[in-house]
Amino acid sequence: MKFGVVVFPGSNCDRDMQEALQNDLGQEVIMLWHKDKDLSAFNTNDCIVLPGGFSYGDYLRCGAVARFSPMMQSVIEFANKGGKVLGVCNGFQILCEAHLLPGVLLRNANQQFICKNVYLKGGDSNQALKIPIAHGEGRFFADEATLDQLEANNQVIYRYCDAGGSIDTKANPNGALRNIAGIRNAAGNVFGMMPHPERATSEALGNLDGRTVFASLLGVR
């Protein structure tokens, strides 16, 4: 699998993502500039990644400006053809703004930026995964009908939990509805999550749980 990592002005996790995929996981990575549009080097077995950061300074709403970038028009077409797309943190916000995923990310319930390790449960594993978060607007919100549809279609890929794997409100860092930390689209090729798995793939950092995320979502081991 080949990965394309989109670089927006204000991205600050694009090189973290490149480092994790290329050096920790041994994957081919191509960096993609936001003003370009060419995705001809990628097929539907490959994956485009929208990294974390503050694209276009997070003016208006987070991800609202990036959604209209030239590269995002190509990413939308790529996703609609069945290509894999992963959005992390700000990338998740962009996917929601682009309507590739339902819902929206609102300001954290405590109205503060949060940067710490949290625990997730979901994917192909029932174990609690320790993955870092770093966001001020990560509270997933959607109407009840949309939430019920996500549940019914098994589109919730990760929920916040405690270290023992119990899902409760005390383990929810930002007030996300139903403890939702990540979702996928109905077709199963577009994924969005607020926590940063690319920050948990290196032995030097003392945490390899992010590798389980990449393996579960994309088959990368």
Q: Over the stretch 145-174, which tens digit does the pLDDT of each residue have?
A: 999 999 999 999 999 999 999 999 999 999
Q: How many C-beta neighbours within 10 Å does residue 146 have?
A: 15
- Of the listed 13, 89, 96, 161, which one is catalytic? 89
Tokens in use for 81? 């053809």
Tokens in use for 151? 């549940």
Q: Is residue 204 predicted with pLDDT exceeding 90?
A: yes
Domains in the chain: how many in total?
Answer: 1
For Cα atoms 8, 9, 14, give the angle at the middle one, nearest 5 degrees. 50
Distance CA 12, CA 157 (A): 24
Is residue 198 part of the annotated active site? The answer reads: yes
Distance CA 217, CA 203 (A): 21
Burial (CB count <10 Å: 0-12, 13-18, 19+), residue 95:
buried
| Structural domain boundaries enclosing 60 | 2-218
Q: How many C-beta neighbours within 10 Å does residue 82 have?
A: 13
- Of the listed 34, 47, 137, 196, which one is catalytic? 196
Q: What is the CATH number of the domain that holds 213?
A: 3.40.50.880
Q: What is the pTM of this model?
A: 0.95
Predicted confidence band at 220 (pLDDT cuts at 50, 70, 90)? confident
Dihedral (C-alpha) 190, 115, 3, 156: value to the nearest 10 degrees?
A: -20
